[in-house]
A and B are shown apart, each in its own frame.
Chain A
Amino acid sequence: MAVASASDPSPMQVLADFGKSKSLRTLLRVLILCFIAGAAVSSRLFSVIRFESIIHEFDPWFNFRATKYLIANGFYDFWDWFDDRTWHPLGRVTGGTLYPGLMVTSGAIYHALRALTIPVDIRNICVLLAPAFSGLTAFAAYLLTNEMTTNTSAGLLAAAFMGITPGYISRSVAGSYDNEAIAIFLLVFTFYLWIKALKLGSVLWGALCALFYGYMVASWGGYAFITCLVPLHSFVLICMGRYSTRLYVSYTTWYALGTLASMQIPFVGFLPVRTSEHMPALGIFGFLQLVAFIYYIRSALSGAQFKAFLFVGLGAVFGLALLALVAMTSAGYIAPWSGRFYSLWDTGYAKIHIPIIASVSEHQPTAWPAFFFDLNMLIWLFPAGVYLCFQDLKDEHVFVVVYALFGSYFAGVMVRLMLTLTPIVCVAAAMASSQLLSTFLSVKSPKVKDPAQEDVTDSLSKKTKQNAGGSLRSANSPYVGVYSFLSKGLVSGIMTIYLLLFVLHCTWVTSNAYSSPSVVLASRMPDGSQHIIDDYREAYQWLRQNTKEDAKIMSWWDYGYQIGGMADRPTLVDNNTWNNTHIATVGKAMSSSEEVSYPIMRQHEVDYVLVVFGGLLGYSGDDINKFLWMVRIAEGIWPDEVSERKFFTPRGEYRVDGEATETMKNSLMYKMSYYNYHTLFPPGQAQDRVRGVRLPDTGPVLNTLDEAFTSENWIIRIYKVKDLDNVGRDHAAAASFDRGHKKKKATKKRGPRALRVD
C-alpha cells in the first residue's frame, strides 16, 4: 500500500493519513471518551428533568438515610450504628449488616466538595452518583476491551455501548442510589486489573486488582461473581495446560490481599473462609500452589513416567480436596450455599423453601424480550464477538468466553443479573462490530489477482490448513481483504443504520421504561398533558406531620425503607429482609381476621397500618396483588393458621369481588383496601380497576381500626389501630354499639317469655 500513497494520494488517503499522527489520535481518543461519558451521564437524567432531583424506588431510600447518618455522625458512629427505628421491636445492627461502600463514597465526595468550598446538598450527590459513575464505567469498559484486541477502536465502541445500553442504565439512572450504581464500575475495573495483572504477571497490578476487589466487596453483595469468576478463569487456564508463573503471581497476589481486604468489612467478616461460595477461590489458591510445585519439580527432573505420576497425583489431590470440602460442609464447619446463591443452581429451590426470595420480582427468570429490550442488537453481536475470541484464544480471551457463558446463564435465571452480563456483552459486541467496521471501512482494496497467482495462494492456503490444527476453521485461508466499494458501502451502511437504531432504541427504552422514580408516578391527561401522581409522598408527609415521633407503622416490607426515609417513623419490617419470621408475623396480621390480627398488632405496639391500594387508579403494584406472597410467607411459619388455599375459591380463582372467599373477605388486608371504597361510586357500580371486577354494594366493616388518612388517588391508605375499649368491651361489640345496634347478647339470653307467677 505504500506504493499507492506515494504515487497519488486520494482525498480519502489524506484524511486517513491525517489521523495517523500519534498525538492527534490520543487527543481524539480522549475527546471521544469525554463525549461518551457526557452521553452516558446525560442519558440518565431523564427523571431529574421530568420530575425532580429525587431518590427512586425502595432500597435507595435506605442508602440515602444511611448516608445522611454517616454525614451527620461521622464514620465511627456509622460503623457502630444500631438502628432502633426499624424492625421494631428488634432493631437492626445496621453498621454490621450493610455494604458501606456506597455511603462512604458519597460521603467522601461530599466532604471533598465541602473542602473545595462548593456547597452542595447531600441529596444531589446521592441522586447524581450513579450517572457520574456510569461515565467511569464506560472508561473501564474501554480499558478492558483494549486488553482484548489490538484494534483500539473496539475500546471506544465498547465504551459507547457500555455508556448507553439499557441493561446498565436500568440500575443507574439519576436517583437510583443503589449499590449497583458504583458496583458495576468496580466490577469492570477489577476485571480489567485482573487481565492486566495476568498478562504482565505483575504483583503491582495484582495488588491493585485486590484493592479494587476489596472496594467492590465493600459495595455490593454481587462481589461473589468476581470471587467465583476469577478462580474459574484460572482453573480453565490450568486445565488447558496454560499454567504460567504470570498466572501464579497474579492469582496468589489477588487472592491473598483481596481476601484480607474483604474481611475488613464487618458484614463479610469471616465468610471468605467459612461459606461455600468463597470456596472455589480458596480451593484454586491451594491447587495453584500444588501445580506450581509440580511444574517446579518437572523442570528439575525428567522422565515421562514421573510426569504421568505427578499428574495423576494432582488429580487425586484435587479430588480429595473436593471430598474434604463436601465432608466439612456436611459436618457444619463450612456453611453450605446461602439460599440466594443456591437458588441460582437449583432453580426450584427458592420457590419451595424461601418464598421471600421468590417473591421479589427481580429474582424471576428472564424471558427473551427482556434480553432484547436491554441489549438490542448487542445480543446477537455478542456471540459473534465471543467467536472472534477463539481466533487467538490467549489467556484474556479465555476470560471473555468463561465470563460470557456464566454471565448469560445467570442472567437467564434472574432478571437482576442482567447487570453482570451487560459489561461482557458490550466488550464482545464491540470487538465484533469494530472488526466488522475496520474490515469494511478500510480504503485500501486488494488488487484482483490473475489465475496464475491464485494457484499459488491456493497451495499456500492448503499449507496453512495443515499447520493450523489449533485455530478456527474459518481462519484457515489467508486474509485477502474486501475488493469492491459496493460491498464496503453496503455493509458499513447497514452497520451505520444499526448503530443509529441502537442509539434510538437505548434512548427510547431509558426514557420510557427506566426513568420513573416509582415514588412519583406520571400519567397522561386526556388532552395529552402530563399529570403527576404524588400519593406516596403525600401520605409519608402526612405521617411525618400528624403522628408521634415514635409511632410504629406496620406495612408490607416493600415500603419499610420509604417510610423510614421519607416519613422518618419506626417500621416493623423493611426491605432488608433479614428476619423471615418477623415478616411472616406482619403477613399473618395482614392475612388473618381482625380478631387474630388485633392482638398481634397490640403486641408489636403498632400505631398505624399502611396499605397500598391501586383499585381506583388502576395501579397494579398494590398490596392486593402482592397479597398472596404475604399469605405464602405467613403460611411458611404458621401452616395451621394461615392457608393459601382458603384465599382461592373452590374453582381455584383468586377473587376480590362478591365471590371472594370468606377468609379473603375477613382478612385485614382486604378490609383495609376496600373499606368505604363503595361509597365513591353510585350504588352497584363500585369497581376495582386493577382486577377489573365489580365490587359488592356493602363494603367491609372494620372494628379494630380507624381510617386515618387516604391519599388523593387512594393509593395509600393509613389506619390507626384503636386503643383498648374504655369500658372493657371487645371492639366488635363497641363498634356495633357505636353504629347504633342494640346489644345482641341480651336478646339471645332471655329465652322464651314465661308468665310470672308469684
Chain B
Amino acid sequence: MRWLPLFLSLALPFGTLAAKKPASPADTFNDFHTKAISTTPVKLADKSYKKLTASPRDYSVAVLLTAMDARFGCQLCREFQPEWDLLAKSWLRGDKNAESRIIFSTLDFSDGRDTFISLSLQTAPVLLFFPPTIGPHAVPGVEGPIRYDFTNGPLLAEQVHAWIARHLPGRPHPAVKRPVNYVAWAVGVVSTLGVAGALAKAGPYILPIVQNRNAWAAISLIGILMFTSGHMFNQIRKVPYVAGDGRGGISYFSSGFQNQLGMETQIIAFIYGLLSFSAIALIMKVPRVADAKKQQVWVLLWSAILFLLYSFLLSIFRIKNGGYPFSLPPFM
C-alpha cells in the first residue's frame, strides 16, 4: 500500500514521456546542460536550435549567430568568438549547479542557413537572448528573443556579461574570469631580463648614442612635427590614408576645416619640417660658411625654399578654409 504512490510518481514521468513526443522544458535544459558541460558554448545546428528555443521554456538561452567561415570575411565574428567562449566557460564554471538556468550556444551560418533565413538576418554576428516563457523567472509580455546591439564599443566579454546579467535578475551571475596568460608573462619577464642584460653588456657602445645631442634633437623635432601636424587626430579618429575625389583620382587634401587625411598630415609635416630646416640652416649653417660665393648660393637656395614652401602652405590652407584671404606670390 505504501509503495503505490511512490511507484505512481516514478511512473509518471515515464508516462508523460511516452505520451508526449516533445520533451519537457526541464529535459531539454538538462539535455543541453550536459552538452554544455563537455563543450560550452553549445554548437547548434538548425534542428537543435529549434529544439532549444522552442516556446515553453523555463530556462534562458543566449545564442550567438555568427559566420566564422573565411568566405564571409566577418572580422567582427572572429574578434568576438574568443570573448564569447570565455564568457560561456567562466559562466559555467561559476554556476556549477545551473541555478541561473541559462544555456550559452553558438549557431554558425554554415550549420544553420535556414535559421538565418527564417530570422531574415543580413548581418552577423547577432546575439539573441531568449527569456524563459514559463516558470518562476518567466518575463510576461516578452515573446521573441531580445537582440544585443553590436554597434557601439569594442566587444568585450564583460559588456555582454553585463547585458545578460540585466536580463537575469535574481539569479547568480558568475563574473567573467580571464585566464592568466602565463606565456605572455613568461615572455615579458624573459624579454625584460634579456633587454636589461643586453643593455648592461652593450652599455659602453649604446651610451654615446643615448647621450648624443644630435640624436635627441632629431627625436624632439620629429615628435613636435608629428604632433603639430595632426598625428594624434589620425590616431584617435582613424582617418583614411587617402580618399578618392569621385572622378577616379586621388584627393590628397580633404576639404573642410575639421577633417584631414593621413597622407595630408604627412605632407604638412614634411612642409613644416622643410620650413623649419631652412630657418635652422639660415640661422646656424649659413653664417658658418667661410666662402662668400658659396654662402651667397646657400642663402639664395634656402630663402627660395622658405618663400616657395610658405606660399604653398598658404595655398593648401586656403583649400581647407575657403574664406582665408591671405596668399603669397607663386601660389596665389
Contacts and interface: CB of A to CB of B under 8 A. Distances in A.
B283 A432 contact: yes
A253 to B, nearest CB: 29
Contacts of A382: 224, 228, 276
A440 B282 contact: yes
A384 B279 contact: yes
A603 B285 CA distance: 74
A645 B151 contact: yes
Contact of B288 (A383, A408, A436, A478): A478
A39 to B, nearest CB: 19
A404 B288 CA distance: 27
A366 B230 contact: yes
A368 B259 CA distance: 9
Contacts of B310: 377, 498
Contacts of B181: none
B223 interface: yes
Interface stretch (A127-135, A466-474, A684-692): A466-474
Interface stretch (B28-36, B50-58, B111-119, B293-301): B293-301
Nearest to B153: A352
B236 A436 contact: no
Contact of B259 (A367, A381, A484, A504): A367
Contact of A348 (B214, B230, B236, B321): B236
B248 interface: no
Contacts of A697: none
Contacts of B276: 380-384, 387
A379 B271 CA distance: 11
A393 interface: yes
B213 A367 contact: no
A387 B217 contact: yes
A86 B223 CA distance: 44
A570 to B, nearest CB: 34
A134 to B, nearest CB: 23
Contacts of B307: 494
Contact of A435 (B163, B231, B283): B283
Interface in B237-276: 237, 257-260, 264-265, 268, 271-273, 275-276
Given A348-B236, A386-B221, A490-B303, A379 B228 contact: yes
A405 interface: yes
Taking each of A365, A384, A477, which has the highest tally of chain B beta carbons within 10 Å of its own beta carbon?
A384
Q: How many residues of B sit at the interface, in one of the four size bands?
A: 35 or more
B317 interface: yes
A306 interface: no
B283 A368 contact: no
B236 A413 contact: yes
Interface stretch (A178-186, A636-644, A740-748): A636-644
A391 B326 CA distance: 35
B328 A501 contact: yes
A383 B272 contact: yes
Interface in A433-448: 435-436, 439-440, 448
Given A409-B227, A409-B232, A381 B287 contact: no
Interface in B295-324: 295-296, 299-300, 303, 306-307, 310, 313, 317, 320-321, 323
Interface in A447-462: 448-449, 454, 457-458
Given A367-B258, A490-B303, A494-B303, A472 B284 contact: yes
A470 B307 CA distance: 33
A566 interface: no
Nearest to A379: B228
B152 interface: yes
B230 A367 contact: yes
A586 to B, nearest CB: 21
A373 B324 CA distance: 10
Contacts of A368: 228-230, 233, 260, 264-265, 268
Contacts of A413: 232, 236
Most chain A CB atoms below 10 A, which of B260, B282, B306, B317: B282
B204 interface: no
A393 B287 contact: no
Nearest to A442: B287
A441 B263 CA distance: 38
A480 B288 contact: yes
A341 B294 CA distance: 52
Contacts of B214: 390, 472-473
Contacts of B221: 383, 386-387
Contact of B235 (A347, A483, A643): A347
Contacts of A347: 232, 235-236
Contacts of B299: 482, 484, 486-487, 490-491
Interface string A137-150: 00000000000000
A505 interface: yes
A348 B152 CA distance: 13
B170 interface: no
Interface residues of A, number: 74
Nearest to B259: A367
Interface in A592-616: none
Contact of B306 (A367, A483, A494): A494
B166 interface: yes
A365 B237 contact: yes
A369 B300 CA distance: 29
Contacts of B227: 405, 408-409, 411-412
A479 B290 contact: no
Contacts of A504: 326
Given A386-B224, A471-B213, A491-B303, A366 B279 contact: no
A184 B281 CA distance: 33
B220 A404 contact: yes
B290 A449 contact: yes
A256 interface: no
A508 interface: yes
Nearest to A458: B290
Given A367-B257, A491-B282, A393 B213 contact: yes
Q: Which of A365, A366, A471, A487 has the most CB of B within 10 A?
A: A487
Contacts of A448: 292
Contacts of A367: 230, 233, 257-260
A460 B285 CA distance: 17
Interface in A366-408: 366-373, 377, 379-384, 386-388, 390-391, 393, 401, 404-405, 408
Contacts of B277: 384
Of the candidates A408, A458, A498, the one having the most CB atoms from chain B within 10 angstroms of its own CB is A408
Contacts of A486: 296, 299
Contacts of A19: none
B286 interface: yes
Contacts of A388: 280, 283-284
Given A365-B236, A439-B283, A449-B290, A408 B223 contact: yes
Given A348-B236, A367-B258, A490-B303, A401 B220 contact: yes
A390 B216 contact: yes
B103 interface: no
A618 interface: no
Nearest to B302: A491
B138 interface: no
Interface in B19-66: none
A603 B257 CA distance: 44
Q: Which of B229, B276, B291, B300: most chain A Cβ within 10 A? A: B276
A11 B211 CA distance: 49
Contacts of B102: none
A497 interface: yes
B149 interface: yes
12 contacts: A348-B236, A368-B228, A368-B229, A369-B257, A369-B320, A383-B224, A387-B280, A404-B220, A432-B279, A470-B211, A482-B299, A643-B149
Given A411-B227, A478-B288, A490-B303, 17 more contacts: A365-B235, A367-B260, A368-B265, A371-B229, A380-B272, A380-B275, A381-B276, A382-B228, A383-B224, A383-B225, A384-B277, A405-B227, A408-B227, A475-B284, A479-B288, A481-B287, A504-B326
